[in-house]
Amino acid sequence: MALRVGILTSGGDCQGLNPAMRGVAKALYEADASNEIIGFLNGYEGLMTGRSKKMRETDFSGILTRGGTILGTSRQPFKLMKEPLDANHPEGPSKLEAMIDTYRTQSLDALVILGGNGTHKTAHLLSENGLNVVTLPKTIDNDLWGTERTFGFQSAVDIATQVIDGIHSTATSHGRVFIIEIMGHKAGWMTLEAGIAGGADVILIPEIPYDPLYILKALNRRESKHKRFSIIAIAEGAKTIAEAALGKSELESKRKASCHPSVAYELAETLDSMMVQEVRCTVPGHFQRGGEPCAFDRVLTTRLGVAAANAVMNGHFGCMMAIRHDKVEPMPLADIAGRLKYVPLDHELIQVARQTGISFGDAD
C-alpha cells in the first residue's frame, strides 16, 4: 500500500539538509513509485499552518550538493508549543494542536523531521500525542544526545578549519595573536576539532572554563620559543572561571550588559591590556553554516535518509536515526529529547591536544 509521508526541516540551517531529504525520498520512491511525500514549508511553522506542497520526484534531483534547505526552515521554541497558534485568539488551538490537526487533515502515514535539540523535543511531543514520527540528527554543534555524529558538523568543521588556515599567513606576517570565534554555545565539539585540525595554540570550549592568565602563560611560552604568532580558537559559549561560577540568569545579564559584541572581543581586550603583541579577532559566524555539504556529510545524510525511509516503511516510529559505532541505529526519542552531548573532560581529543602543547586556558 502506498504511503503518504510528510517531511520538514526545523531550526537553524546547515549543510546536509537537502541530501538527507534526497536520501529519504529516493528510498521511498524506489520502494514504491506511488508513495507520496508532502513537504512542509519553513519547518514546524508550515505544519502548524498547513503550508505545504506535494513533492515530485524531480524536486529531489540535483540537491545532493546544495546547502540550505529547499523547504525553508524556522525556529519554533519548544516552550511555546502549547500556547495559542494565534495570540490574538487565545481561545483557538494551540501550536501543538494545530500541528496534530494538520497531520490528520493531510492523512499522513508518517512524518520525517530533520533538526537539532529543540526540534527533537517537539518531535518527541508529537510522538507522545500519537503521531508517527521519525527524525534525523541535524546540527553543526554535534551536541545531540544518542548519536556519535550529526550531519552538518563535518562540513562546518571543514569551514572553520579553512578560516584558521587562512589566518595563519597574516598572523605570521604581522606577528600577531589572532582570536577566532567558532560556533558552539553549549558544546565545544566544533572548536575542539577545528582547533586541532587548524593548528590552534589555545582552544577554549564551554566545558573547560578558562583563566586569561593561563592563556597569557601559554602565549608567553610560545614567544620564548621565538614563535612570531599565536592562534586562539574560542567557542562562542566559552566562559571564564569566574563566569562559570555564575548562575544562568546572572551570566546572561552579564553578557547583555557587556560592551563587547562577543566573547572573542572581550578576550581580545583582556589580553591586549596584558601584553605588547597585537591582538586581533575573526568571527566567521554564519559562514560556517553555509555552502555545499562536504563529501563526508553527503554520504552520512544518504545513509541516514535511507534508514529513515526504511523505518517509515517498517512502521518503526518514535525514534531518531543515529550513528552508533559507525552504524545507523534507531534511538528512542524519549531517550534523546532534552539531553545535550557535551565534550567529556577525559575525551581522547582533549588529551591529544594537551599532549601536543595546546592550552585550554586552565591549570592543566
Q: Which are the catalytic amino acids?
A: 141
- Copy the grid coordinates of residue 244: 562559570
| Environment class of 280 (CB within 10 Å of its CB; exposed 0-12, middle 13-18, buried 19+) | middle
CA angle 143, 301, 147 (to 5 degrees): 30
Distance in angstroms (rounded) separating the CA atoms of residues 142 and 150: 5
- 3-state SS of the chain: helix, strand, coil percent to 5? 45, 20, 40
| Environment class of 38 (CB within 10 Å of its CB; exposed 0-12, middle 13-18, buried 19+) | buried
Distance in angstroms (rounded) separating the CA atoms of residues 363 and 113: 43
- Copy the grid coordinates of residue 296: 563526508
Place of cell 508532502: 38
CA 49 to chain centre: 26
Distance in angstroms (rounded) separating the CA atoms of residues 227 and 278: 14
Do the bridges between strand 319-324 and strand 327-332 make them parallel or antiparallel, or are there none, so unpaired?
A: antiparallel
Distance in angstroms (rounded) separating the CA atoms of residues 276 and 351: 31
Distance in angstroms (rounded) separating the CA atoms of residues 240 and 230: 20
Sequence letter at residue 103: Y
Place of cell 550513528: 323
| Environment class of 144 (CB within 10 Å of its CB; exposed 0-12, middle 13-18, buried 19+) | buried
Question: What angle do the packed helices 189-198 and 153-174 form, to 10 degrees?
Answer: 50
Number of CB atoms found within 10 A of residue 105's CB: 9
* Cβ neighbours of residue 278 closer than 8 Å, sequence gap 6 or more: 174, 175, 176, 177, 272
